[in-house]
Structure 1
Amino acid sequence: MARSLRGMTATALAKSAAVTPEWLSKVERNRTTPSDELVGRLAKSLDFPEEFFYRDPAPLPSSEAFHFRASSKLAQKDESAARSLASLASELSEWMDRTYELPTPGIPEIQELADADVDAGPDIAAGALRNFWGLGTAPVSNMVGLLESKGARVFSVSGNYQAIDAFSFRHGRSSIVFLNPSKSAERLRFDLAHELGHLVLHGGSLYEEDSKLRERQANDFASAFLMPRAGILGSLRGNITLADLTRLRDTWKVSAMATTVRLHQLNLISDWHYRQMCQELAKRGFRRSEPGSTLISESSSLWAQILNDLREDGLGFPYLANLIGVRASDIRALLVGLVPLAINGGATQPTRGAGKLHVVSSS
């Protein structure tokens, strides 16, 4: 787990710690136990506190509860790193539950949605969830806030893990979502809705036979959830032009490309019109960014409150790091783009009472 988080091969670690690759393999397969002195060398090579290696094995999400976006460019090491990050997030999530009064988990699976058929398609499921949450047909003003108000925990995957896209899983009753903060604000919102689609539709199957179908379904769910049919129809005026695309983008807070796809899905533009718009948007740089957008990436109200609570007690990232036996930099990396990271504080661990956090989100 430490190796995967540091992006280090077994060969490189063995060389750094002055052991043989064969011996290290036995350690990782629980065939032999290293001495305290060797644990110290491994910890130094991996830049982990020695205490990390004496902790009980951290639980990893099961394959049945882990939505990981597969990619031809994605190496096995990236999936291992994602699972290791998920384990750290799970431990922090458990600490949050023990320490604070948090919103009741409320992200249902499709079978739980009122009046929703078990085999309902993504569009129907998205509408059913909007009704279930009382969102109507207006734009969702803050996706991070909405999901946190339903008991989800949001984290970042950043730094050495740029190849990893968003992923999600259920941990106990809570849902945990990871985002890659290198994207535009519009695309981050779509990623959140995409992962919400996985959590609602798929019940957590990583190795389901048709992963491409699962990804299309999550994309279709995200489109329908962020841009409901009735809402889109109500915001149109006459023939749809490129100027309309940026107006709709700014209204619904999704990318111009995603807006175009949704208009095509709803048969509001022809196949020819759709191709022409996509080509023109690509020429203007809309495939990689959102020219002219003023949308700011959404932040985490939940983590902002927790960090403020720690700050009031003179604590910070070192305290959270000590809880799970990692470095403060590992905690910072989990929150990149979600909160301001200029929080300081010692690593002392006083007894803490159970606080109360109330995440308020306007939908």
Structure 2
Amino acid sequence: MTNATFNASLLLLARQYRRASQGEVAAKAGLNQGHYSRIENGLLPDGPSHENVERIAAALQFPSTFFYQTDGLTGLPLSVHPMHRKRAAVGERVLKQIHAELNIRLIHLRRYLRAADLHPELPLPHVDVDEGGGPQEIAHLIRRAWSIPEGPIANLTDYCERAGILIIWCDLEKGIDGVTMRVRDLPPCIFLNRSVPPDRMRASLAHELGHVIMHRIPTENIEDEANAFAAELMVPERQFRRQFIGRAGISLEWLALQKAHWKMSMAFLLYRAGAIDAITRHQSEYAWKKIASMGWRLREPHETDFPYEEPSIFPALLRMHSETLGFDLETIGRLVSCDVGELQQMYRPYLGRGKPGLYVVK
């Protein structure tokens, strides 16, 4: 790496990923904190010495090659789902760590995509909310553009992938269900928290899809707009109203049946019923109290779960490196400048141990 240039922004990224302070990293690396700060801020005209980079890399448990990559950083996503008002509860250091991890994953993704060509088969338009007639109309547009039949969407993940969106499961912080990242040189990426139940994951994916289609700059309304898009996309009002014909009220048993039909949570469906005035305020309040008394606000009964919609494109991309190209984990680690243990943690269970091979650029 003697001819490579040290990338100070990646040092900041690595430190935030480890949730460490400058002082902690400097102490582990045996450096003066002031000197370390100048390294991280790119204030050394000739860059840090190779010896100091090695010491910092060891302190942060990153390969030293990571810091000589040319990748730039992408800013915080438009939103960290759920809503903005809940982000404060997550904590600034945690948000920085999430931001760092997503950037590291994007760096890896660039390397993985060198060996693949992705050709979307469905359109993925960008539609301004006002120009498109509002989130509900845009949801109708997407259903038409993707030829989605009436009724429940069988597999939203499949539709998104066919439109060129990469769906990636990862371990996000508790309370954050999904994050959208849009970068000029990469396909749109939606990162979903693998630990949430399937009903919440589907709702989060629909919400994040709303961001991909409708939003380019943050506004105070983007979360409400994404929620409205998701509601109409997954449970169209006109079709949902048919379920109430001849009904005097609703019960938890009826909500459970609707959950099995629409593949959305009972809470989502109850909220939807109240939002379109399909039930009275009294009926809504009574049902919410029943759900709360059963302890279902945080987790609905496992008996009502349906299977996860597992992504296929990104796992196939990983398996192509380990199985088709025959890379072992050490080779993949060198490709993306990542420790083998970190790779296993980040990309379980899709990376196997193939035979060492050459990196083939398609």
Instruction: Give the TM bin, normalised by the shorter chain.
Output: 0.7 to 0.9
Q: Deviation string for 1:109-168 (max 9, x for gaps)?
A: 114xxxx86152222221121112111322122222221111111223417x44544110
Find the counterpart in structure 1 of residue 197 from structure 2: 184
Distance 1:342 1:290 in 2: 32
TM-score by length of 1: 0.84
Find the counterpart in structure 2 of residue 279 from structure 1: 289
Shift in alpha-carbon separation, 1:341–1:140, aligned structure 2, 3 A: same
Shift in alpha-carbon separation, 1:36–1:217, aligned structure 2, 3 A: same
Q: Is the 8 A contact 2:327 2:354 kept in 1?
A: yes
Find the counterpart in structure 2 of residue 200 from structure 1: 213
Distance 1:129 1:295 in 2: 24
Find the counterpart in structure 1 of residue 354 from structure 2: 345
Given the alignment, which residue of 66, 74, 98 partners 1:52? 66
Distance 1:163 1:264 in 2: 25
Identity %: 23
Letter in structure 2 aligned against 1:21:
Q
Gaps of 5+ in 1: 355-363
Letter in structure 2 aligned against 1:286:
W
Distance 2:159 2:357 in 1: 32
Distance 1:287 1:218 in 2: 21
5 Å-filtered alignment, 1:16-165, equals 16-32=28-44, 33-56=47-70, 58-62=71-75, 66-69=78-81, 70=84, 71-104=87-120, 106-111=123-128, 118=131, 120-158=133-171, 161-162=173-174, 164-165=176-177
C-alpha deviation, 1:17, in angstroms: 1.1
Q: Is the 8 A contact 1:74 1:163 kept in 2?
A: yes
Find the counterpart in structure 1 of residue 311 from structure 2: 300
Find the counterpart in structure 2 of residue 222 from structure 1: 230
Letter in structure 2 aligned against 1:3:
R
SS at match of 1:100: coil
Distance 1:119 1:144 in 2: 24
Q: Which has the larger radius of gyration?
A: 2
5 Å-filtered alignment, 1:319-358, equals 319-335=331-347, 340-341=349-350, 343-345=352-354, 348-352=356-360, 354=362
SS at match of 1:101: coil
Find the counterpart in structure 1 of residue 274 from structure 2: 264
Shift in alpha-carbon separation, 1:335–1:263, aligned structure 2, 3 A: farther
Q: Deviation string for 1:227-267 (max 9, x for gaps)?
A: 11233234445323221111111111111101101111121
5 Å-filtered alignment, 1:212-251, equals 213-236=221-244, 238-239=246-247, 240-251=250-261
Letter in structure 1 aligned against 2:207:
H
SS at match of 2:196: coil
Letter in structure 1 aligned against 2:314:
W
SS at match of 2:88: coil
Gaps of 5+ in 2: 1-12
Q: Is the 8 A contact 2:318 2:350 kept in 1?
A: no
Letter in structure 1 aligned against 2:284:
Y
Q: Is the 8 A contact 2:179 2:208 kept in 1?
A: yes
Shift in alpha-carbon separation, 1:299–1:195, aligned structure 2, 3 A: same
Shift in alpha-carbon separation, 1:311–1:267, aligned structure 2, 3 A: same
C-alpha deviation, 1:29, in angstroms: 0.7
Shift in alpha-carbon separation, 1:21–1:156, aligned structure 2, 3 A: farther
SS at match of 2:114: helix
TM-score by length of 2: 0.85
Shift in alpha-carbon separation, 1:265–1:164, aligned structure 2, 3 A: closer
Q: Which has the higher contact order (CA 8 A, sep 6+)?
A: 1
Q: How many correspondences in the alignment?
A: 338
Shift in alpha-carbon separation, 1:126–1:329, aligned structure 2, 3 A: farther
Shift in alpha-carbon separation, 1:38–1:117, aligned structure 2, 3 A: closer
